[in-house]
């Protein structure tokens, strides 16, 4: 109950990320702020080009070769500003105080090494255990993630496991060092629904046991509702709406959030009836625009939306904030902005 | 025009030195006889074994032939031989590889077992054996080397062809009911050829080296046709007091082989990303500076 | 005409050689489905259930080991060569990945022209106009015909792939996860395109997907597959509202609700365990290792399709019983 007064574990303040590649300079994250406390799950929702993945991976030095990262703003994790750390300091945080789960466990695991060895390696590295100690800890971890017959699993290779079991292995590696924060990038997108339900349940159990904070990157509102307490909706590198899940998903303010939620098929939709969605296509990554990036697809767009950047405003359902001054009555057609 | 521009921008990204070495090699190969200052086969025993001078820039050999002219015309011998060997080897290899990749099943099994046998033997040994049976001679050498080289390209072609056939855009052609002729000649063959030619670049150096090796052993290019391996044999007895005559063809050969290898490697590694150069980074930073931070 | 069906698949079996020597994977095991003209039918199931293999077998991308595929009553196995290609062309396939299903060296116009050339009943002079019509049908501007696939968004590419399929005037479209690679906000656009094509052109669609909610709204009838077998079939509303097979019930219970008020009341994870390996499927009912209702009889024989109502049937011995020892939370130990 003291989470109200305690300092959040992760505070992102006005974060801007520029990526430079051989061909272009882009700003996939533009002035984003949020925080996550221990034991809390924040879902970051967005489509391709929304910047949701870059936001979480670029500041930790997880970008492919050939991409240069420049950050502005602050990311205060556990009392220190991550944007100021060197690669060596980041390395000691990655995998130790911050764990990662990726969408495709097969490409995140080494195909040529046994499961047990891969988990033990992480344990040895981050907890400084001996080989025998690491082995018993590995067994403990596999039991924790609900693997059946953990002793024989240790000897198996990733390709011998199903997608769901591989994701359990990934989770056991991610939580090996009992991280304070877990970043999960579309952890169930590649899985079947019955397996997805198991994995989401497992994440919840582990979270309450280890009291971790989780940042969950996803595009699936069902996953958000099932696991997160807070949600930030991103569009073209900016947060367009943010607040508690039980408020945002029930009463969205931003036309984009409304559109996304409206697009989910409902029980009362008859077979053969038209699908609801948004017109147009998601934005292509580029430089920042002095406008609302959503305006070409928006039914509420007025002239001001095309030449002014909409600020995040308080809504009638606090603490939800949304970046749509039109819906919130601040900008009017024809009126002076 | 668009294709030309694409090729130029592609070449601009490859290592300049390798491009230069290969460029010179091919240029001399194509135009050698017209560039060479002298006829490479005219003997002048009175001016044999002369050092470099204004008349003979690179000196003369033991028969008084102009070394520069012989070096230049040798490039032609090499290029023509190399092109012939690769052309025959690739034609056979790509045909067999793509048929295996297209038909699959038992056709593939049989063809690929034959290829495996070919691959199991070192190419130079195969070439030596063939020449041993057929006897020495220019065309026998070309044939021998093509026989030694085709299994490699067949193996690569098959791998590429299988991959191409499994791509959804090829599968959609099958679903559209395209006849096998269209699928094979208009889609599979061009796609496979493109990929296989990349590997051929890396192989070209090895072929050039093998031609020189066979000639050095007296099994390839026969005198008096100028050829680097030949020049090395001729100059060997003079190694002690005129090392120039050994070093020059050696350098030429090394340049061509290293050039092709570097080029092949660069093409193969082009897909692997590298760190941004500082000039590009500076440009990108400047772009970002123009963005107002709001 | 075979009972008014445009496509009928009877007892289809498709097997693959396993990577393990001497073992076979029966990807599709004795599956029968049918489509009426202009009907959208869903085919759902988890990965490895054989739904894609079934679709691919119908268009000839995989070779079935036994069973019959009838197109307008004609058994495709009786045809070969050119005759087979010309006949089978009436069934077209839309692939999941719009980035790989177009040749990146062909412009959109070239790709469509190639399909028209293959069909071969239109002279090249008429191509230009036909391409314009095709692009219009899928909601794309004519100006796109000079572009390359890399210049298009995922949604646009998928529309082009659909236009190419339409170029040969198909009677059946098999759509294999056609929107799962697309962004959430554009999925509806492509789904509505399918609905429109079905109405305007009378094309029948077999809609293969893992997204149950999507299929429910698009399809009037649905087949549920599990480990190569059809577990349940019937009108969408019946299957979704009165599922007869415990697997269908489990699938439906696993979909997380996007409404936090419902999500808070429900625990997910309604089903235990993993899908068994298709190289060594369980005896009897394929689902019994994960089934909360399984009894000894389930291990002994494969359950027949039990009719529940008109067109609705489930392959479960408990199907249709008033109170089939219900309660998914209550797990009875799997029978070995």
Q: What is the ipTM of this complex?
A: 0.86
pLDDT digits (tens, 9 = 90+) for A210-265: 999 999 999 889 899 989 999 999 999 999 999 999 999 999 999 999 999 998 88
Q: What is the pLDDT, as a whole number, of residue C330?
A: 36
Residues near B69 by Cβ (< 8 Å), separated by ≥ 6?
A: B36, B37, B38, B39, B40, B226
Whole-number percent of chain B with pLDDT over 90: 21
Q: Under a CB-based contact definition with an 8 Å cutoff, are residues A320 and A247 in contact?
A: yes
Q: Taking all residues of chain B, what is their mean pLDDT, rounded to a whole number?
A: 85
Q: What is the pLDDT of residue A87?
A: 87
Using only the alpha carbons of chain A, give its radius of gyration: 21
Q: In 3-state terms, what secondary structure has residue C199?
A: helix
Banded model confidence at residue C331, pLDDT cuts 50, 70, 90:
very low
CA neighbours closer than 13 Å in the CB half-sphere of residue C226: 27
Which residues, 6 or more positions from B258, have their beta carbon under 8 angstroms from its beta carbon? Answer: B18, B21, B205
In the three-class reduction of DSSP (H, G, I as helix; E, B as strand; rest coil), residue C274 is classed as coil
Q: What is the largest CA-CA distance in chain B?
A: 85
Residue C50 buriedness (CB in 10 A; 0-12 / 13-18 / 19+): buried
Q: Flag whether residue B280 sits within 8 Å of chain A, measured between CB atoms.
A: yes
| Residue from the list A25, A27, A65 with its beta carbon closest to the beta carbon of B275 | A65
Residue in chain C nearest B182 by alpha carbon:
C118
DSSP 3-state of A264: coil
Chain A CB contacts of B285 below 8 Å: 20, 25, 70
What is A294-337 written as a DSSP string?
TGGG-TT--HHHHHSPPPPEE-SSTT-EES-TTTTTSS-TTS--
Encode B155-169 in three state secondary structure.
HHHHHHHHHHHCCHH
The minimum CA-CA distance between B11 and chain C, rounded to whole Å, is 20
Laid out side by side, the sheet with A10-20 consists of A25-36, A10-20, A68-77, A80-81
Please report, for residues A24, A67, B276, the alpha-carbon distance to residue A19 in angstroms, rounded to integers and kept in the order given: 8, 6, 11
Instruction: State the DSSP code for A219.
Output: S
Q: Is B117 on the interface with A (CB under 8 A)?
A: no
pLDDT in tens, C189-205: 999 999 999 999 999 99
The share of chain C scoring above pLDDT 90, in percent, equals 59
Over range C215-230, report the average pLDDT: 93
**Three-class secondary structure of residue B285 per DSSP:** helix
Question: For chain A, what is the mean pLDDT?
Answer: 88
> Residue C57's closest chain B neighbor by CA?
B175
The residue count of chain C comes to: 336
Q: What is the mean pLDDT of residues C216-242?
A: 93
Instruction: Give the pLDDT of residue A197.
Output: 85
What's the pLDDT tens digit per position in C132-160?
A: 999 999 999 999 999 999 999 889 999 99
Query: What distance in Å separates the CA atoms of residue C22 and residue A50, rounded to the nearest whole number?
Result: 48
The β-bridge relationship of strands A313-314 and C229-235 is unpaired
Q: Are C221 and C42 in contact (CB under 8 A)?
A: yes
Residue A1 reports pLDDT greater than 60: no
Sole residue written with tokens 């699993």: A153
| Backbone φ and ψ of A69, nearest 5° | -110, 135
Which chain A residues are closer than 8 Å to B280 by Cβ? 20, 22
Please report which confidence band the pLDDT of residue C269 belongs to, taking 50, 70 and 90 as the band edges: low
Query: Subunits with at least 3 CB pairs below 8 A relative to chain A?
Result: B, C
Q: Confirm if C188 and C155 have CB atoms less than 8 A apart.
A: no
> How far apart (Å, rounded) are the C-alpha atoms in residues B73 and B34?
9
Please list every residue in chain A whose beta carbon sits closer than 8 Å to the beta carbon of residue C235: 271
Strand partners, A234: A239
Summarised one tens digit per residue, pLDDT across range C4-51 is 899 999 999 999 887 777 788 889 999 999 999 999 999 999 888 899
Report percent pLDDT > 70 for chain A: 97
Report helix, strand and coil shares of chain B as percent, to nearest 5. Answer: 75, 0, 25
β-strand pairing of C172-176 with C204-209: parallel
Which tokens sit at C280?
Answer: 């060594």
Residues of chain A with Cβ-Cβ distance to C184 below 8 Å are 47, 219, 260, 263
β-pair partners for A77: A10, A80
Give the three-class secondary structure for A178.
coil
The pLDDT tens digits for B144-183 are 889 888 998 999 999 999 999 999 999 999 999 999 999 9
Most confident by average pLDDT, B81-90, B261-270, C265-274, C275-284: B81-90
0.80 cut: is pTM over it?
Answer: yes
Give me A152's structure tokens.
């024989």
Q: Residue with structure tokens 């069906």?
A: C5
Residues of B in contact with C86 (CB under 8 A): 177
Least-confidence region, from A184-188, C38-42, C182-186:
C182-186
A78 Cβ neighbours under 8 A, 6+ residues apart: A9, A10, A97, A180
Q: Is A324 on the interface with C (CB under 8 A)?
A: no
The pLDDT value given to residue C72: 92
Higher pLDDT, B55 or B237: B237
**CA–CA gap between residue A204 and residue A187 (Å, rounded):** 13
pLDDT on residue C335: 28
pLDDT of residue A334: 66
Rounded (10°) CA dihedral B267, B268, B270, B272: -170
Residues C309, C318: Cα–Cα separation, whole Å: 15
By CA distance, what is B166's nearest residue in C? C61
Q: Higher confidence at residue A183 or residue B78?
A: A183
Backbone angles phi, psi at C309, to 5 degrees: -155, -175
Give the pLDDT band of residue A337 (cuts 50, 70, 90): very low
């Amino acid at each position: 109950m003291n989470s109200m007064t305690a300092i959040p574990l992760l505070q992102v303040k006005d974060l801007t990320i520029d990526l430079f590649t051989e061909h272009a300079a882009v700003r996939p994250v533009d002035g984003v702020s949020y925080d996550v406390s221990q034991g809390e799950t924040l879902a970051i929702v967005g489509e391709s080009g929304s910047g949701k993945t870059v936001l979480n991976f670029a500041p930790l030095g997880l970008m492919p070769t050939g991409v240069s990262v420049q950050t502005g703003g602050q990311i205060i994790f556990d009392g220190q500003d991550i944007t100021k750390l060197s690669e060596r300091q980041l390395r000691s945080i990655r995998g130790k105080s911050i764990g990662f789960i990726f969408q495709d466990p097969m490409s995140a695991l080494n195909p040529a090494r046994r499961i047990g060895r891969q988990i033990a390696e992480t344990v040895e590295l981050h907890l400084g255990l001996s080989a025998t100690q690491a082995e018993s800890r590995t067994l403990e971890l596999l039991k924790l993630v609900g693997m059946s017959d953990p002793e024989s699993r240790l000897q198996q290779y990733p390709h011998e496991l199903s997608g769901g079991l591989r994701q359990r292995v990934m989770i056991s590696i991610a939580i090996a060092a009992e991280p304070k924060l877990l970043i999960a990038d579309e952890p169930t997108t590649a899985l079947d629904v019955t397996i997805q339900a198991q994995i989401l349940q497992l994440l919840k159990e582990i979270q309450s046991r280890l009291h971790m904070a989780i940042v969950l990157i996803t595009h699936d509102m069902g996953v958000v509702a099932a696991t997160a307490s807070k949600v930030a909706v991103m569009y073209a590198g900016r947060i367009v709406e943010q607040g508690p899940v039980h408020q945002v998903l029930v009463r969205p303010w931003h036309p984009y959030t409304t559109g996304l939620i409206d697009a989910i098929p409902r029980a009362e939709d008859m077979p053969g009836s038209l699908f609801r969605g948004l017109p147009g296509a998601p934005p292509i990554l580029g430089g920042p625009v002095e406008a609302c990036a959503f305006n070409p697809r928006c039914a509420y767009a007025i002239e001001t939306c095309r030449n002014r950047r909409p600020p995040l405003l308080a809504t009638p359902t606090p603490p939800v904030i949304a970046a749509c001054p039109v819906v919130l009555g601040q900008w009017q057609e024809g009126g002076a902005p | 025009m668009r294709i030309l521009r694409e090729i130029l921008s592609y070449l601009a990204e490859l290592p300049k030195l390798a491009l230069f070495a290969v460029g010179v090699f091919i240029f001399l190969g194509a135009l050698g006889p017209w560039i060479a200052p002298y006829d490479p086969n005219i003997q002048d025993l009175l001016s044999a074994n002369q050092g470099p001078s204004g008349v003979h820039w690179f000196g003369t050999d033991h028969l008084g032939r102009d070394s520069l002219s012989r070096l230049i015309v040798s490039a032609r011998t090499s290029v023509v031989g190399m092109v012939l060997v690769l052309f025959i080897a690739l034609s056979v290899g790509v045909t067999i590889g793509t048929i295996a990749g297209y038909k699959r099943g038992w056709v593939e099994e049989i063809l690929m077992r034959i290829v495996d046998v070919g691959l199991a033997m070192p190419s130079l040994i195969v070439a030596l054996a063939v020449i041993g049976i057929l006897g020495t001679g220019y065309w026998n050498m070309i044939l021998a080397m093509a026989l030694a080289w085709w299994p490699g390209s067949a193996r690569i072609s098959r791998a590429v062809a299988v991959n191409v056939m499994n791509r959804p855009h090829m599968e959609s052609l099958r679903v559209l009911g395209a006849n096998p002729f269209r699928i094979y000649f208009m889609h599979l063959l061009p796609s496979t050829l493109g990929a296989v030619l990349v590997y051929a670049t890396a192989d070209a150096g090895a072929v050039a080296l093998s031609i020189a090796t066979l000639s050095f052993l007296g099994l390839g290019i026969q005198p008096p046709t100028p050829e680097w391996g030949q020049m090395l044999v001729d100059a060997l007895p003079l190694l002690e007091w005129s090392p120039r005559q050994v070093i020059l063809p050696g350098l030429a050969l090394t340049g061509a082989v290293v050039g092709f290898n570097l080029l092949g490697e660069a093409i193969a590694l082009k897909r692997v990303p590298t760190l941004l150069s500082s000039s590009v980074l500076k440009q990108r930073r400047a772009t970002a500076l123009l963005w107002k931070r709001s | 005409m075979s009972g008014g069906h445009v496509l009928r698949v009877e007892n289809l079996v498709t097997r693959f050689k396993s990577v393990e020597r001497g073992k076979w994977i029966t990807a599709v095991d004795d599956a029968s489905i049918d489509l009426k003209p202009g009907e959208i039918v869903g085919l759902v199931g988890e990965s490895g259930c054989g739904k894609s293999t079934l679709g691919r077998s119908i268009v000839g991308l995989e070779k079935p080991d036994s069973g019959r595929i009838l197109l307008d009553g004609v058994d495709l196995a009786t045809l070969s060569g050119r005759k087979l290609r010309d006949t089978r062309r009436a069934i077209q396939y839309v692939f999941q990945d719009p980035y790989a299903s177009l040749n990146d060296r062909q412009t959109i116009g070239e790709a469509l022209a190639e399909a028209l050339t293959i069909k071969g009943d239109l002279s090249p002079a008429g191509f230009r106009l036909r391409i314009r019509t095709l692009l219009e049908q899928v909601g794309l501007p004519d100006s796109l015909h000079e572009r390359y696939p890399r210049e298009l968004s995922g949604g646009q590419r998928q529309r082009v792939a659909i236009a190419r399929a339409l170029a040969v005037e198909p009677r059946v479209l098999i759509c294999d996860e056609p929107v799962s690679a697309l962004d959430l906000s554009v999925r509806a656009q492509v789904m509505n395109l399918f609905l429109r094509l079905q109405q305007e052109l009378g094309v029948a669609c077999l809609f293969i997907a893992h997204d149950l909610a999507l299929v429910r709204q698009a399809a009037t009838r649905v087949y549920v597959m599990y480990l190569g077998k059809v577990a349940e079939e019937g009108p969408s509303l019946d299957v979704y509202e009165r599922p007869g097979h415990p697997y269908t019930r489990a699938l439906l219970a696993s979909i997380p609700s996007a409404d936090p008020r419902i999500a808070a009341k429900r625990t997910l994870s309604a089903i235990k365990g993993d899908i068994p390996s298709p190289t060594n499927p369980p005896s009897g009912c394929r689902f019994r290792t994960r089934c909360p209702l399984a009894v000894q009889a389930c291990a002994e024989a494969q359950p027949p399709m039990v009719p529940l109502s008109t067109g609705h049937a489930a392959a479960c011995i408990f199907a249709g019983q008033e109170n089939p020892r219900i309660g998914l939370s209550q797990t009875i130990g799997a029978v070995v």
